[in-house]
Amino acid sequence: MVVKKLKIVHYVNNNDLVTAILKWQNDCKVALKAGQELPRQDNYIGKCIIQICSGLASRYNFVNFSYRDEFVSDGIEACVKAIKNFDIKKTNKAFVYLTMVAFRAFQRRIIDERKQHAIKHKNFQFRNMIADLDGQIHENVDNEYSSRIINEYETKHMNPKPVKNKVKNNVSKNKNSFSSTVSTRPSKFYVKGCK
């Protein structure tokens, strides 16, 4: 019995996408020099953007949200805007570039939806507090869930963690030393109390 390997078929061909983007960017440069209106993006570029955003929305970390359609539409909008900034000198992977643009758009949508959710629960608590002050009879409502949602939003998004300054090294400032090439960004593996 002979077993054949299945050929992996990707839904977006990166080389064709890069070619289409570069052609569109060149057309835009020519149109700008001539003082004409910018040309439309190719249908192939649009098809690829839609496939990338739809595929990313079905990824495990976005699949359970109720606003997946908003994810896709925000991702498409961000990709269409960002395609003019694609630089072949930095990378030749347009698929990865557009996926990251869509991913960031999805993250912004999550933050916006959490904000709206927190506002809704603050309004709910405020209405119950006003009803208590007016002496109106209303159902005894448990506000623990609303308080938890509001606190989560405020701690994560309204009060971001402060960035710690880099500790100065006592190593000589030699051009060939490792200390001159160390990044100033804090490490993601930073352990509290360690230096």
The 10s digit of each residue's pLDDT in 2-57 is 777 776 667 888 899 999 999 999 999 999 999 999 899 989 999 999 999 999 99
The number of domains in the chain is 1
CA 79 – CA 81 distance, rounded (Å) = 5
Residue 191 has pLDDT above 50, yes or no: no
Residue with the two structure tokens 């009060």: 159
Among 19-33, 113-127, 176-190, the least confident range: 176-190
Residue 170 maps to a domain:
no
In a domain, 147, yes or no: no
Specify the DSSP element, H or E, that contains 102. Answer: helix 94-134
pLDDT bucket at 61, cuts 50 / 70 / 90: confident
Of 49-58, 74-83, 111-120, the range with the lowest mean pLDDT is: 111-120
Residue 6 forms part of a structural domain: no
Q: Tokens 């643009």 map to which residue? A: 101
Task: Answer whether residue 163 is part of any domain.
Answer: no
Which of 22-31, 67-76, 168-177 shows the lowest per-residue confidence on average (mean pLDDT)? 168-177
| pLDDT above 60: residue 103 | yes
Residues 82, 108: Cα–Cα separation, whole Å: 15
What pLDDT does residue 37 have? 92
CA atoms of 21 and 76, how far apart (whole Å):
15
Longest Cα–Cα distance of the chain, Å, equals 82
Q: Provide the 3-class DSSP secondary structure of residue 9.
A: coil
> Does residue 60 sit within a domain?
yes
As a whole number, mean pLDDT of residues 115-141 equals 67
Please tell me the predicted confidence (pLDDT) of residue 134: 57
Residue 49 included in any domain: yes
In this predicted structure, the answer to whether residue 85 has a pLDDT above a threshold of 80 is yes
Within a domain: residue 93?
yes
Q: What is the pTM of this model?
A: 0.67
Residues 12, 14, 20, 26, CA torsion sign? positive
- Asked whether the predicted pLDDT for residue 88 surpasses 70, the reply is yes
In this prediction, residue 128 carries a pLDDT of 66
CA dist 185 and 165 (Å) reads 9
* Residue 101, domain member (yes or no): yes
Higher pLDDT, 130 or 174: 130
**What is the Rg, in whole angstroms, of the alpha carbon atoms belonging to the chain?**
25
Domain range for 21 is 14-107
